[in-house]
Amino acid sequence: MRVLGFVRALGAVTVTVFMTAPAYAQVQSVPGQGTWESTLQARDVGNTGTTNAFYDTVLNITWLRNANVNGSMDWNTATAWASNLTFGSTGGWRLPTVDPNVNYGWSMNGSTSMGYNVAPSSSEMAHLFASTLGNIGIYDSSGLDQSGGGLTNTGGFQDLQAGGYWSDTPYAPNPVGAFGFYTNSYFQTSFLKGNQLYAMAVHPGDVGAVVASVPEPETYAMLLAGLGLIGVIGRRRSRT
């Protein structure tokens, strides 16, 4: 199905779009898809003894690991929640940003039709979705359905939803709108601030303690086997 009919029905980008964030089954992390295994570094904000955040080495921001702390909410509630968030003793959180100068009009190949398949550089959420997690849109560059589209990889995030997420960027032409990003379709545009979308918290820079990697059970087994071998060799040398 082509997107063109949907685009023509909507007309120009507007904040009069009513969309809600539907519930989807939890998607699991996919090793080897995207760059998340190397560009997202585990952090412990507040010294809780657990990984509760990720430092994004490309965007130079820290993502809160729980991507659905409070469920869906309107934009004013979401921005207030993020700005007032204190995790451990760390404040200064916010919602992800969007470049408001992105062209959301219909393009000849359909690649940015009404905000579909925008460039990863257009927002922090788009970069997380497409580059870091390696997800693709539900439409290809010709506006046709493509298999494997949508949120297929959540990396190490907890409760990352296949639905709409708010940004902290208002829609300048109309004060009742703000930008959002849909992870179930790779769709980014402006929405009415009264819509119910999810919210992810980010913090500028690298915050939180570095979390040391924990060896897998197989690694422990190999370590114990190696120590046992060293012990055997040591006893033989002592007898010699």
Q: How do residues 126-156 score in pLDDT, each as one tens digit?
A: 999 999 999 999 988 778 899 999 999 999 9
Q: Are 14 and 190 in contact (CB under 8 A)?
A: yes
What are residue 179's DSSP bridge partners? Answer: 190
Domain annotation covers residue 139: yes
Place of tokens 């086997």: 225
Domain annotation covers residue 238: no
Domain annotation covers residue 240: no
Q: What is the pLDDT of residue 102?
A: 72
Q: Where do the DSSP E strands lie in the chain?
A: 40-44, 53-56, 61-64, 164-170, 177-182, 187-192, 202-204, 209-210
Domain annotation covers residue 236: no
pLDDT at residue 225 tops 70: no
Q: Strand 53-56 relative to strand 61-64: parallel, antiparallel, unpaired?
A: antiparallel
Q: Stretch 42-68: mean pLDDT, rounded?
A: 96
pLDDT at residue 7 tops 70: no
**Count: domains in the chain:** 1
- 61 phi, psi to nearest 5 deg: -135, 160
Mean pLDDT of the chain: 81
- CA 187 to CA 173: how far, in whole Å? 20
Q: What is the pLDDT of residue 212?
A: 75
pLDDT > 90: percent of the chain: 59
Q: Are 162 and 183 in contact (CB under 8 A)?
A: yes
Q: Are 102 and 120 in contact (CB under 8 A)?
A: no
Domain annotation covers residue 180: yes
Tell which wins on pLDDT, 127 or 231: 127
Domain annotation covers residue 9: yes
2-16, 169-183, 191-205: which range is least confident on average?
2-16
- CA 45 to CA 53: how far, in whole Å? 7
In this prediction, residue 239 has a pLDDT band, given cuts at 50, 70 and 90, of low
pLDDT at residue 23 tops 80: no
Number of Cβ within 10 Å of residue 186's Cβ equals: 22
The token pair at 205 is 């820079």
pLDDT at residue 4 tops 50: no
Q: Stretch 214-223: mean pLDDT, rounded?
A: 45
For the entire predicted model, the pTM comes to 0.77
Q: What is the pLDDT of residue 199?
A: 98
Q: What is the pLDDT of residue 108?
A: 40
Owning domain of residue 103: 4-215
Domain annotation covers residue 237: no
In this prediction, residue 27 has a pLDDT band, given cuts at 50, 70 and 90, of low
Domain annotation covers residue 120: yes
